[in-house]
Structure 1
């Protein structure tokens, strides 16, 4: 009886206690987890620099600088494209007003609401949002502070990498050290490999989007391609968000024909991404089970927002590898993994044997 109660308590802790801790510890845990994943991604670069006889401190600085340069490059591209939009802003504003008038007429015909009533309801909705501007500024300030904190975590984790590895090894007997080292290597490969694969996939998508948009004559083709590709880092929902923003910008800058071209190009590019890029470029770095992948993205998205959705797959990949090497959790690793069940493999083998005997 006591054993059954203890099992129930463990499952209650797993299903309720851990999610609650992750939610209430979001301010501390989310930046830390992002820092851990990014530091694992930078370890191969750091090791390569050290192999070239560069001191450890300079290797850490070089790896971190490379990460900062990537973010600066991405921000610079977006800034350049936004400046191009500002030059055409009067035309975009005119097009937006025309679309707004058309939308108001459509609502008036279908719902019977006059444009003044529509405007009054819109103002009412905005007033209910309260101090939206202050909240937005707070969000921007918080995002900047978290970004700085993440970079600090990355530097500290890289500099204390050997200490953390030794700490983990000290918790296991010496005869298990080879197995533990193998697990740590696989964890590093899982998290870093996933992000490198996704980065390659993002670049390929940006090229496909940009080429298609330019051939179709869509204005701001590069900016639209960049927006849509960057959001692809968020599994499943990212493509919809990025595609929606790209279609909206295409609508106010070029009209319905541009939106149609954007939709056609993105649909074709997504088919290439789903059947070629993801399987062969991203690969099976985290050996992800589709059900566990979706639930982890949704779960971490609910707990930690966009940041949680982005790092959900590498985190669950790390957890799966950890479960794989711990003696009492291999069943959970199998549940999270993508390998075929033994019964299914046996059934397929029996069918093959029957056909060959026939």
Structure 2
């Protein structure tokens, strides 16, 4: 009895200590985890360069450069589209003013506050938020600093890759090395497969959104499609945020009809994404059931915010692989995965079995 209580207490302490440690150490752990996942994704690219007789140092540099070029490409697309909007800004500003007047009249009818009183309340809110301006600038600086830190981690992890592999192998007897290497290979496949799958899903969504917006005659179709598709990288929440931003921009640039088209196109594209792209392009790469997928995104989102939500699924997929290869945690891997439970369920005996005996 005491042994059972001791085991239960250990599990309770672990369930408390691990989330607390992750939350308290997020400033250090979140960039490191993102860097580790990205490094795992780039290992096949690095191996391809090495197989072409390129030195290890240059292979690391070229792999990291590809990652940077991807981020620069996304930033460049957004910059080009924002420049297009800037040309039409006076018209957008005029349209926004008309909607603001309508909103003020609506508020006045419902609350009795005239436009001047509404403006005073808005000024009060802005003045309260003003004190957070330096913090906002600090957060922008923090994001940039963390981005640089992530890239540094990627370079270091790739360059020291053999050392980390040797470190892991030293903890297992030689006869287990083949099995350990197989597990590490599956972890790399899970991490890289998820991100490449998400990139494919993002491209498919961008094409579907862009085509739908163009056919519907929505202004800034490519920008709206890009915004909505990029935010889809954040599971579940990203689609809502990206769709909201696209709808607001469509409203001030084209009116209610554009918002309706955006809503219809995004709903149709999301159905394709939910029932085709995610299960067959992304889901098979991590082998997680829907419960674990949603739970991991919520948990890591609470602990680490947006970065946590982005890497929640690949990290949980990596944990599932680890649990699968450790004998005492195979049941946890089963709970997290997609393996069908029917073969483990006990078959009920017929009720009249005893009578016939």
Q: Shorter-chain TM-score: which interval?
A: over 0.9
Question: Are residue 125 (structure 1) and residue 125 (structure 2) matched?
Answer: yes
Partner of residue 38, structure 2 = 38
CA distance in 2, matches of 1:339, 1:74: 37
Question: Are residue 161 (structure 1) and residue 161 (structure 2) matched?
Answer: yes
Partner of residue 250, structure 2 = 250
CA distance in 1, matches of 2:12, 2:123: 46
Q: Which has the higher mean CA deviation after the structures are superposed, 272-281 or 288-297?
A: 272-281
Question: Are residue 54 (structure 1) and residue 54 (structure 2) matched?
Answer: yes
Partner of residue 354, structure 1 = none
CA distance in 2, matches of 1:65, 1:211: 31
CA distance in 2, matches of 1:120, 1:7: 60
**Structure 2 segments unaligned to the other structure (5+ residues):** 350-357
**Structure 1 segments unaligned to the other structure (5+ residues):** 351-358
After TM superposition, give the deviation of residue 130 of structure 1 in Å: 4.3
Partner of residue 212, structure 1 = 212
Partner of residue 182, structure 1 = 182
Partner of residue 9, structure 1 = 9
CA distance in 1, matches of 2:272, 2:182: 34
Partner of residue 340, structure 1 = 340
Question: Are residue 29 (structure 1) and residue 61 (structure 2) matched?
Answer: no
Partner of residue 284, structure 2 = 284
CA distance in 1, matches of 2:172, 2:235: 36
After TM superposition, give the deviation of residue 54 of structure 1 in Å: 0.7
Question: Are residue 322 (structure 1) and residue 290 (structure 2) matched?
Answer: no
Partner of residue 138, structure 2 = 138
After TM superposition, give the deviation of residue 346 of structure 1 in Å: 7.2
Helix, strand or coil: the match of 1:284?
A: helix
After TM superposition, give the deviation of residue 119 of structure 1 in Å: 1.9
Structure 1 stretches (4+) deviating beyond 4 angstroms? Answer: 343-347
CA distance in 2, matches of 1:150, 1:241: 24
Describe how 1:78-89 pairs up with structure 2 within 5 A: 78-89=78-89
Partner of residue 353, structure 1 = none
CA distance in 2, matches of 1:105, 1:231: 33
Root-mean-square deviation (Å) = 1.6
Partner of residue 102, structure 2 = 102
After TM superposition, give the deviation of residue 78 of structure 1 in Å: 0.3
Partner of residue 355, structure 2 = none
Count of residues in Structure 1 that have an aligned counterpart in Structure 2: 349
The TM-score with structure 1 as length reference comes to 0.94
Helix, strand or coil: the match of 1:129?
A: helix
After TM superposition, give the deviation of residue 282 of structure 1 in Å: 1.9
Partner of residue 260, structure 2 = 260
After TM superposition, give the deviation of residue 10 of structure 1 in Å: 2.0
CA distance in 2, matches of 1:280, 1:16: 35
The TM-score with structure 2 as length reference comes to 0.94
Helix, strand or coil: the match of 2:118?
A: helix
Helix, strand or coil: the match of 2:312?
A: helix
After TM superposition, give the deviation of residue 174 of structure 1 in Å: 1.3
CA distance in 1, matches of 2:266, 2:345: 37
After TM superposition, give the deviation of residue 13 of structure 1 in Å: 2.4
Partner of residue 353, structure 2 = none
Helix, strand or coil: the match of 2:125?
A: helix
Which whole-Å deviations, capped at 9, do the CAs of 1:148-170 have from their partners, x for residues lacking one? 00000000000011110110010
Helix, strand or coil: the match of 1:340?
A: coil
CA distance in 1, matches of 2:52, 2:279: 33
CA distance in 1, matches of 2:346, 2:265: 43
Distance 1:329 1:257, change over 3 A: same
Helix, strand or coil: the match of 1:75?
A: helix
After TM superposition, give the deviation of residue 316 of structure 1 in Å: 0.4
Which whole-Å deviations, capped at 9, do the CAs of 1:248-271 have from their partners, x for residues lacking one? 010111110100010011111111
CA distance in 1, matches of 2:89, 2:271: 34
